[in-house]
Structure 1
């Protein structure tokens, strides 16, 4: 038998509150703390596809979050959920994708000075592949920074 039939052998249909109580509120608590209450873990299918595409291109979580206008923890939880469901494969390099220069004081992958230098070099006519190689970052990141700077990042 299924779970509903086991809980309601009389075959009566439970009211919504009773259903929620039986199937979702199965732990008794007096004092509760809700983790990440300030974050939004609801996603449209379009947003899920964008995150999955960016993840599969090895973009780091913070850049994905920035590109879609969401908090990095929300993106990270979505990725963990999709990996857990088997929809995405774990990356050997982890959620952040690749090793980049990290400025812990700014909690950012690249400092503003580094980002501005990349954009300046791009404007000088150097190829994105040359810049990526010189700076030691993937070409995709150079492309991302260029699109973001020009305001064309989706």
Structure 2
């Protein structure tokens, strides 16, 4: 795609074309000895893969209900959801919804808010809440200060 059409006609660039151009430019830099070692930098040679670990769901104690929540945010689109299970692992309730949030932390916070609100409305007194947002858990435990857009 022509650079001018991207710049002046608001055309969307093709990702593969950009990646191809970057690779060619890196090869030229190496070939013409501008940066002869550029292709030996670890960041360019060895892609970094995320580390994975197996996480097994653990049921809550007897007479407790566990809710697993997850908020999601991607390019100004956000969503949230959760699932309530009893100590036998049986699904009691699940919820999900698109939300209007400004960032991933706000989506996670709104998710936890709705999980707690639903639990209160259902009369659940022993609630075990799990979230994958360590930052938000630390904020709720007062280990971190809250950003301006979160008030609890």
TM-score bucket (shorter structure): under 0.3
Higher relative contact order (CA 8 A, sep 6+): 2
Question: TM-score, normalising length from structure 1?
Answer: 0.22
The structure that has the greater radius of gyration is 2
Greater strand share, structure number: 2
